[in-house]
Amino acid sequence: MAKPRSSEKRNMIFQAGLRLFAQNGYSKTTIKDISTEANVSFGTVFTYFTNKEELFHLCVTEPIDEFRNYLIEPETLENFNLGTLKEMVTKHLNFFLEKEDYLRVIQYVIGQPERFSETMEELDQFSDEFMSFIQNVVQTGMEQGVLPESNPEEVGYGYLAFLMGARLTFTDYPGVQLTNALGKQAYRLFGIGI
Amino acid sequence: MAKPRSSEKRNMIFQAGLRLFAQNGYSKTTIKDISTEANVSFGTVFTYFTNKEELFHLCVTEPIDEFRNYLIEPETLENFNLGTLKEMVTKHLNFFLEKEDYLRVIQYVIGQPERFSETMEELDQFSDEFMSFIQNVVQTGMEQGVLPESNPEEVGYGYLAFLMGARLTFTDYPGVQLTNALGKQAYRLFGIGI
Amino acid sequence: MAKPRSSEKRNMIFQAGLRLFAQNGYSKTTIKDISTEANVSFGTVFTYFTNKEELFHLCVTEPIDEFRNYLIEPETLENFNLGTLKEMVTKHLNFFLEKEDYLRVIQYVIGQPERFSETMEELDQFSDEFMSFIQNVVQTGMEQGVLPESNPEEVGYGYLAFLMGARLTFTDYPGVQLTNALGKQAYRLFGIGI
Amino acid sequence: MAKPRSSEKRNMIFQAGLRLFAQNGYSKTTIKDISTEANVSFGTVFTYFTNKEELFHLCVTEPIDEFRNYLIEPETLENFNLGTLKEMVTKHLNFFLEKEDYLRVIQYVIGQPERFSETMEELDQFSDEFMSFIQNVVQTGMEQGVLPESNPEEVGYGYLAFLMGARLTFTDYPGVQLTNALGKQAYRLFGIGI
DNA sequence: CATGAATGAGGCTTCATTCAT
DNA sequence: AATGAATGAAGCCTCATTCAT
């Protein structure tokens, strides 16, 4: 009963699931919808995923590793200055604004933590890691005199809230323009006036 | 066919609907769940609401007016200084952190705008009003020399994103502590304390 | 619990029921529909009729007596000639073509005899009476040399079938024209060529 | 989404639907009833038919083609005489008396034309074709001196009414006997034996 | 008598999952 | 591995009937 871990078709189904779960939520999305979107027959979905719940869980959790590597860059800490900070912020904002489908399902899960508790746990863990990284950034920035006196925890809270909200709040807006506008505000959260 | 607009039972159902939609989303929430939670029989739900969809739509849109009056205070503009600004921010944060159920359903809708397009429209309209109010606040603050040079639109974007994200991101955290922490960050978005 | 036998409102409800049962059948017609059509409140229907089933049964059976008197005229037998026969046929045809609503519900019941067995019995009884009357007419006509040699039973069968079919088959056609056309055919069933 | 057009099971469901719709009408007949009668699971009905309404519509309209071929025989016109006419009448009567289930649903639809307007249209079309065929028969019969002077349209009306009524009126009667009795009356409608 | 809110049984339909091919 | 017909549990909604006002 072991499901194949990788294959062309599995990926098609996975992407289709991600897209549709993001757009319509869990219950509204049907296996039929997914199979159609993936150009795959109905039964094939069950060849690669045990059931709908597992597919959803994997759509949310599988990409976490990739994103961890992308969003948490130790180099930022090693070689810290205003330039690397701004690069980091831009990277974060772009990611949150571009990975629309993925962020949506994440927000979907976060919005119903009791319902998807198991999935939520894995997200929480990543969220903690990310927050802790940001706090490190703030700490480092303060120590090096690049950032003003701040409470690293508070900055972390605010920054994460800001990033999540950006994705949630501005669905239709053109990306680049928004990145610039929100970028300035993000710097302000770190205490940088420009 | 005309459904009674107000009654003890209607309100029970409404509140139960809001609570459950917030917790489990639209599809997962059943009319049976709602009627049980409201201590009302199954059929009674349909005495007050045409169908599930309408109940959901009303759960999202009916409170808007009340919140408009609460969140958009023209007095803030008439008598503007750092104190009134901080009061406003505190009020906003408290609201976004306390009206948990309501904010969750709003975020649920925003996360699936195509699915709930009609409901989304009414939310968008309110969001525009709110953003425009914030921009007025920034403009007034700048004119009076209370706020530093800023792009009002950018501050509006950032502030709204921040508020929405606050609610979404920190579900379990104790309110007061978080209000303080996030409050400082909110001021920073207006350019205060940088 | 005795229901009032006659009243302005009862009659309104009765007529509305007849009309709607004729148009939409039993199950599709709701008490709400009937009360609305009768300009009466919902609950009032139950003031005059025990339940829906009884209302339907009465809509079909109550008018029978009136129609018996109209359709079965002993005078036709007492003073028989071609003229009275033609008068009778015209009367019958007009009745079957004009009492649209009533004939429709009758045909509705006849079409589902197992479903409305009790109601059907009363209709059957009337149908027997009517058939027997027609056989008498034929017998009398033959004895008086007005009608050709015929099997009275067969004429009765055919004539009733013809009348019922007329009502069923030609819903939209203009009455007078049809009465003339079908009248000639009815005479033929009695063996009269014109 | 495409439903299989033919299969053992589809046919079982179709026949069961026809039988039950004929016996109890549309609303009273449940999908559960049909599936049970067809020895099929509940859900299987929806594998072959989109919904109840479509099943009903098809029960009424699908057999039309077959019956068109059976009831409308051009040969009757090509080789016309009293014998072929009587054969035709017998054929028609047998059909109307034997296809009990099918005729009942037809009459059910005709009795509620507003309710089943789409289905009714297809029936009307066939009815026109049939009537036109009968008129041709009468015209031909007159031209060949086999039938007396008649108004073909009137004969058509009367004959169709007669056939429809035969089925409706005599539900319980033994077929053969009735065919003979009604046969004679049918000839009379064509002006034969008067 | 008149009214209509309250109730819940019952029907249609959807859809995840199974399984034979 | 791939397919899709078969299944039936579960949800929404309708509506006859009751009953308190």
Tell me the CATH number of domain C64-189, given options 3.30.413.10, 1.10.1780.10, 3.40.50.920, 1.10.357.10.
1.10.357.10
Average pLDDT over residues C144-163: 92
H helices present in chain C, as ranges: 8-28, 31-37, 45-48, 52-61, 64-71, 74-78, 82-98, 100-111, 117-143, 152-169, 175-189
Given 1.10.10.60, 3.30.470.20, 3.40.50.1000, 1.10.3720.10, which CATH number is that of A8-57? 1.10.10.60
pLDDT in tens, A25-64: 999 999 999 999 999 999 999 999 999 999 999 999 999 9
CB contact under 8 A, C185 and D155: yes
Report if CB D77 to strand E is under 7 Å.
Answer: no
Spatial separation of the C-alpha atoms in residues A34 and A11, rounded to whole Å: 12
Q: Which chain C residues are closer than 8 Å to D112 by Cβ?
A: 23-25, 104, 108
pLDDT at D175: 65
Angle of helix B8-28 relative to helix A8-28, nearest 10 degrees, comes to: 180
Chain-wide mean pLDDT for chain A? 90
Closest-CA distance, D176 to chain C, in angstroms, reads: 13
Region A118-143: mean pLDDT is: 94
In angstroms, the CA C122 to CA B96 distance is 71
Task: Determine the distance from the C-alpha atom of residue B181 to the mean position of all C-alpha atoms in its chain, rounded to a whole number.
Answer: 20
- Nucleotides of E strand lying within 7 Å of any protein CB atom: 1-20
- Nearest residue of chain B to residue A157 (CA atoms): B182
Please report residues of C whose CB lies closer than 8 A to that of D151. 181, 184
Q: Which of A23, A52, A162 to mutate to test the interface with B (most CBs of B within 10 A)?
A: A162
Question: Average pLDDT of chain D?
Answer: 90
- Asked if residue C1 has pLDDT above 60, the reply is no
Query: Is nucleic acid strand E under 7 Å from C46's C-beta?
Result: yes
pLDDT of residue C174: 59
Q: Please report the pLDDT score of residue B2 as a whole number.
A: 67
Say which residue, D174 or C191, is predicted with more confidence.
C191
Chain B: closest CA distance from residue A50 (Å): 21
Whether the per-residue pLDDT at D160 is higher than 80: the answer is yes
Min Cα–Cα distance to chain A from B127, Å: 9
Domain boundaries, chain B: 8-59, 63-189
What is the pLDDT at residue B16?
97
pLDDT in tens, chain B (194 residues): 567 777 899 999 999 999 999 999 999 999 999 999 999 999 999 999 999 999 999 999 999 998 899 999 998 999 899 999 999 999 999 888 888 899 999 999 999 999 999 999 999 999 999 999 999 999 999 999 999 999 999 999 899 999 999 888 877 666 677 788 889 899 999 999 76
Question: Which residue spans within chain D are E strands per DSSP?
Answer: none
Q: Which residue of chain B has the CA closest to A21?
A: B112
Residue in the block written with tokens 């379990």:
B172
Q: What are the phi and psi torsion angles at D155 (to 5°)?
A: -65, -40
* CATH number belonging to domain B63-189: 1.10.357.10
**CA dist., res. B130 & res. B126, Å (int):** 6
In this prediction, residue A2 carries a pLDDT of 64
- Model confidence at D194, pLDDT cuts 50, 70, 90, reads low
Residue B193: what pLDDT?
77
Q: Is the pTM of this model over 0.75?
A: yes
Q: C161 and D170 in contact by Cβ < 8 A?
A: yes
Residue D128 at interface with chain C, using a CB cutoff of 8 Å? no
Looking at the complex, report in whole angstroms how far the Cα of residue D101 sits from the nearest Cα belonging to chain C. Answer: 10
Structure tokens at A48: 């690669």
Where on strand F do bases come within 7 A of a protein Cβ?
A: 1-20
Nearest CA in chain D to C26: D27
Interface of B with A in 134-163 (CB under 8 A): 148, 151, 153-155, 157-163
Q: How many CB atoms lie within 10 A of CB A86?
A: 16
Residues 27-66 of chain B: which lie with beta carbon within 7 Å of strand E? 40-44, 46-48
Distance from CA of C139 to the nearest CA of D (A): 16
D7 Cβ nearer than 7 Å to chain E strand: no
Nearest residue to F5 via alpha carbon and C1': D47
Kindly tell me the number of DSSP H helices and DSSP E strands found in chain B. 11, 0
Say whether B63-189 and B8-59 share the same fold: no
- Count CB neighbours of B23 within 10 A: 19
Q: What residue type is A171 in one-letter code? A: T
Amino acid identity, position D18: L
What does the pLDDT look like over D108-144, one tens digit per residue?
Answer: 999 999 999 999 999 999 999 999 999 999 999 999 9
Burial C133-166 (b: 16+ CB within 10 A, else e): bbbbbbebbbeeebbeebebebbbbbbbbbbbbb
User: Per CATH, which fold does B8-59 belong to?
Assistant: Arc Repressor Mutant, subunit A (1.10.10)
Task: Please state, rounded to an integer, the average pLDDT across all residues of chain C.
Answer: 90
Measure, in angstroms, how far nucleotide E5 C1' is from residue C20 CA. 25
Q: Which of A21, A169, A172, A176 to mutate to test the interface with B (most CBs of B within 10 A)?
A: A169
Cα D194 to Cα D191: distance, rounded to the nearest angstrom = 6
CA-wise closest residue to A98 among A67, A142, A135, A62: A67
Nucleotide nearest C49, CA–C1', reads F17
Q: Could you tell me which of A73, A70, A66, A89 has the C-alpha nearest to residue A136?
A: A73
Give the CATH number of domain C8-58.
1.10.10.60
Residue type, D31: I
pLDDT tens-digit readout, A57-106: 999 999 999 889 999 999 899 989 999 999 999 999 988 888 889 999 99
D96-126 as b/e: b if 16+ CB within 10 A: bbebebbbbbbbbbbbbbebbeebbeebeeb
